[in-house]
Amino acid sequence: MTSTGKPRSSCSPGPQLPIDFDALEFLAHGTSGAVYAIDKDWVLKESWELDRGIVERQALGRLGSHAKIIGYFGEATSNSIILERGIPLLSPDQIGLASTQKKLAWIRDVAEGLLYIHQQGIIHADVGCENIVIVDGQLKMIDFEGCSMDGKEATAGYKWYNSKDDSVTLQSDIFAYGCVVYQILTGKPTFHELTESDDRRELVRRRCAEHRFPDIQGLLLSDVILHCWSGSFKSMAEVISALDSTSTRRLSPPRLTSILWKWIGTCPRPK
């Protein structure tokens, strides 16, 4: 079986067409379908059912080409699409071996991707490290199947550790973004200690309702994470300015100078 899909985004030069379906290499599967490598740069995502995947195509078509969104090359068949290939963020060693500087850049990538998604009238509805891939060192969002477009109901939902309840709103995407930041910085999902509990979703819901979030004192970006979790950010634009002001605060010379002065003040004076 072969396909002669037409390019729909500015991803270039594009996969070898027509696709040799017999040569596809299975990579992974999710709840809606399976993902196969076409070659080193492109994958084919095939939906289990014919009517699955429609929303994802619509969303990717609307999102077009953006640095923090997976490149979309259009349909291969009625139930499969061609996407730029990345390395899943949760592949072994990706988070574990990344430097802090790299992690901070990744955190910014996801924020920019999510801001853009929201600006296009889309709520992702399954924000999480499972739905992020690395392409040329940058993070890009994948998996738009089940997202909410223009206020329509989402059919996707967050993983239990990325959501505080069953809602799908801008705020729930921002909550999940806070969980992504936590997982990138610590290497573990939020509420990981509840993994073995049968009622972990309910336990998380209760903890969040009582604002009993994981202890992140001393963690980089702890203020930003906490504001994502507590619902005080109204938009990803607010999140990005908080990220910016945190990094500015960390690096700004006046703050450094004042710390130095305080430290000098505590030094014993020479006799």
Ligand X SMILES: Nc1ncnc2c1ncn2[C@@H]1O[C@H](COP(=O)(O)OP(=O)(O)OP(=O)(O)O)[C@@H](O)[C@H]1O
Residues of this chain that bind Mg ion (CB under 5 A): 30, 131, 143
- The Cα–Cα gap between 114 and 177 comes to 8
Query: For ligand X, which stretch binds (CB under 6 A), given 124-132, 147-155, 184-192, 217-225?
Result: 124-132
Minimum distance of ligand X from residue 222's CB (angstroms): 28
Residues touching ligand X, count (CB under 6 A)? 22
Q: Does 59 bind ligand X (CB under 6 A)?
A: no
Q: Which is nearer to ligand X, 109 or 126 (CB)?
A: 126
Minimum distance of ligand X from residue 78's CB (angstroms): 17
- The Cα–Cα gap between 46 and 230 comes to 37
Minimum distance of ligand X from residue 194's CB (angstroms): 20
Query: By CB under 6 A, what part of segment 137-156 binds ligand X?
Result: 142-143, 145
Q: Which residue is nearest to ligand X (CB)?
A: 30
H/E element holding 202?
A: helix 200-209
Does residue 73 contact residue 83 with C-beta atoms inside 8 Å?
yes
Q: Which is nearer to ligand X, 86 or 178 (CB)?
A: 86
Query: For ligand X, which stretch binds (CB under 6 A), given 29-37, 116-124, 189-197, 250-258?
Result: 29-37
Residue with tokens 């300015």: 241
Q: Which is nearer to ligand X, 54 or 209 (CB)?
A: 54
Q: Does 74 bind ligand X (CB under 6 A)?
A: no
Q: Which is nearer to Mg ion, 14 or 30 (CB)?
A: 30
Upper half-sphere CA count for residue 83 (Cβ side, 13 Å): 27
Residue 158 gets the label, from left (phi > 0), alpha (psi -120 to 50) or beta, of beta
Minimum distance of ligand X from residue 128's CB (angstroms): 8
Q: Which is nearer to ligand X, 154 or 224 (CB)?
A: 154
Query: For ligand X, which stretch binds (CB under 6 A), given 2-10, 23-31, 114-122, 211-219?
Result: 23-31
Q: Does 27 bind ligand X (CB under 6 A)?
A: yes
Q: Does 32 bind ligand X (CB under 6 A)?
A: yes
Q: What Rg, from alpha-carbon coordinates, does the chain have?
A: 21
In whole angstroms, how far apart are CA 58 and each of 31, 70, 74, 215, 271? 19, 14, 10, 39, 75
Query: What are the backbone dihedrals phi and psi of residue 93, each rounded to the nearest 5 degrees, phi first?
Result: 75, -10
Q: Does 31 bind ligand X (CB under 6 A)?
A: yes
| Exposed / middle / buried, residue 10 (Cβ in 10 Å: 0-12, 13-18, 19+) | exposed
Concatenating the DSSP letter of every residue in 65-131 gives S-TTB--EEEEEETTEEEEE--EETTSTTTTTT--HHHHHHHHHHHHHHHHHHHHTTEE-S--SGGG
Give the interface with ligand X as residue ranges (CB under 6 A). Answer: 27-28, 30-33, 35, 43, 45, 70, 83-86, 88, 126, 130-131, 133, 142-143, 145
